[in-house]
Structure 1
Amino acid sequence: MTRTRTGRHRSTTRSAAPAGRLDWVDVAKGLSIILVVLHHAVMFLEPHGLVPGPVAALNLALTSLRMPLFLLASGLFLAPVLERGWRTLLHRRVALFLWLYLLWTVVQFAVITPLPTGTAPDFAVLDAADLPLVLLYPDPSMWFLYALALYSVAARLLRRVPGSLLLVATGVLSTLVGAGILEFGWHAWELTARYAFFFVLGWHGRRLVERVAARSTLLWVLTAAVLAVAVAAASVLLDLHDVPGVAFVLNLVAVTGGVLAAAQLARWRIGRGVAALGRRTLPIYLANVPLVALLTALLASTAPPVAVQYGIVALVTAGAVALSLALHRGLIAIRAGWFYDLPGQWAVRPRIG
Structure 2
Amino acid sequence: MTRDPAIDRARGLAILAVAWFHMTRALINTGHMADDPLLQWADRLAYGWHVQIFFLVSGYFLQGRVRRWADVWPRALDLYWPYLLWSTITAVLLLAMPASGSALRLSDVIVLPVIPFQHYWFLLYLIACIALMALVGRWPLLVTGLFLVANLVAWRADLPQDRLGVTLDNGTYWPAFFFFGAWLARRGVLLRWRTGPALVAFAVAALAALASLRSGIDIRWSLFFVPSLCACYALVWLASRLAVPGLAWLGQRSLPIYLVHVMVGAVLRALVYKVAPGIPVALAFAVIFGGAVAIPVVLDLVATRLGLARLAGFAPIVKVRRSGPAPAASAA
Please give the range of the TM-score, normalised by the shorter of the 2 chains.
Answer: 0.7 to 0.9
Cα pair 2:44 2:209 within 8 Å, conserved: no
Cα pair 1:283 1:328 within 8 Å, conserved: yes
Q: Report the equivalent of 1:94.
A: 76
Letter matched to residue 28 of structure 1: A
Cα pair 2:144 2:175 within 8 Å, conserved: no
Structure 1 residues 251 and 64, CA gap change in structure 2 (3 angstroms)? farther
1:335 and 2:318 equivalent?
Answer: no
1:109 and 2:91 equivalent?
Answer: yes
Q: Report the equivalent of 1:295.
A: 268
1:167 corresponds to which of 134, 139, 144 = 144
Secondary structure at 1:134 match in 2: coil
1:315 and 2:287 equivalent?
Answer: yes
Q: Percent identity?
A: 23
Cα pair 1:29 1:281 within 8 Å, conserved: yes
Letter matched to residue 172 of structure 2: A
User: What CA distance in whole angstroms lies between the structure 1 residues aligned with 2:170 and 2:5?
Assistant: 27
Cα pair 1:24 1:262 within 8 Å, conserved: yes
1:203 corresponds to which of 155, 173, 182 = 182
Structure 1 residues 216 and 50, CA gap change in structure 2 (3 angstroms)? farther
Letter matched to residue 243 of structure 2: R
Q: Report the equivalent of 1:13.
A: none
1:280 and 2:264 equivalent?
Answer: no
User: What CA distance in whole angstroms lies between the structure 1 residues aligned with 2:211 and 2:71?
Assistant: 46
Spell out the pairing of 1:35-46 with structure 2 (5 A cutoff): 35-46=17-28
Q: Report the equivalent of 1:132.
A: 110
User: What CA distance in whole angstroms lies between the structure 1 residues aligned with 2:41 and 2:29?
Assistant: 14
Structure 1 residues 69 and 41, CA gap change in structure 2 (3 angstroms)? same
User: What CA distance in whole angstroms lies between the structure 1 residues aligned with 2:294 and 2:220?
Assistant: 37
User: What CA distance in whole angstroms lies between the structure 2 residues aligned with 1:116 and 1:296?
Assistant: 17
Secondary structure at 2:66 match in 1: helix
User: What CA distance in whole angstroms lies between the structure 2 residues aligned with 1:209 and 1:229?
Assistant: 29
Q: Report the equivalent of 2:207.
A: 230
- Which digits, 9 at most, give the CA deviation of each residue in 1:112-165, with x for residues without a partner? 4444613x6x4xx643442220133210210001111111111111123x2332
Q: Report the equivalent of 1:74.
A: 58
1:253 and 2:227 equivalent?
Answer: yes
User: What CA distance in whole angstroms lies between the structure 1 residues aligned with 2:188 and 2:246?
Assistant: 23
Spell out the pairing of 1:178-197 with structure 2 (5 A cutoff): 178=155, 181=158, 185-186=162-163, 187-197=166-176
Deviation at 1:22, TM superposition (A): 1.5
Cα pair 2:58 2:322 within 8 Å, conserved: no
Q: Report the equivalent of 1:348.
A: 319
Spell out the pairing of 1:1-16 with structure 2 (5 A cutoff): none
**Cα RMSD after superposing both structures:** 3.0
User: What CA distance in whole angstroms lies between the structure 1 residues aligned with 2:41 and 2:193?
Assistant: 31
Secondary structure at 1:76 match in 2: helix
Secondary structure at 1:77 match in 2: helix
2:217 corresponds to which of 241, 244, 247 = 241
User: What CA distance in whole angstroms lies between the structure 2 residues aligned with 1:251 and 1:300?
Assistant: 39
User: What CA distance in whole angstroms lies between the structure 2 residues aligned with 1:136 and 1:106?
Assistant: 12
Letter matched to residue 121 of structure 2: W
Cα pair 2:150 2:172 within 8 Å, conserved: yes
User: Which stretch of the first structure deviates more once superposed, 330-339 or 277-286?
Assistant: 330-339
Structure 1 residues 334 and 77, CA gap change in structure 2 (3 angstroms)? same
Cα pair 1:281 1:352 within 8 Å, conserved: no
1:144 corresponds to which of 87, 98, 122 = 122
User: What CA distance in whole angstroms lies between the structure 2 residues aligned with 1:352 and 1:36?
Assistant: 17
- Which digits, 9 at most, give the CA deviation of each residue in 1:160-216, with x for residues without a partner? 3x23321210121233345564567423442232221101111112377954x4142
Letter matched to residue 267 of structure 2: L
Secondary structure at 2:33 match in 1: coil
User: What CA distance in whole angstroms lies between the structure 1 residues aligned with 2:131 and 2:220?
Assistant: 29
State the number of aligned residues: 318
Q: TM-score, normalised by structure 2?
A: 0.83
Secondary structure at 1:53 match in 2: coil
User: What CA distance in whole angstroms lies between the structure 2 residues aligned with 1:135 and 1:152?
Assistant: 18
Structure 1 residues 31 and 268, CA gap change in structure 2 (3 angstroms)? closer
- Give unmatched runs, 5+ long, in structure 2: 325-332
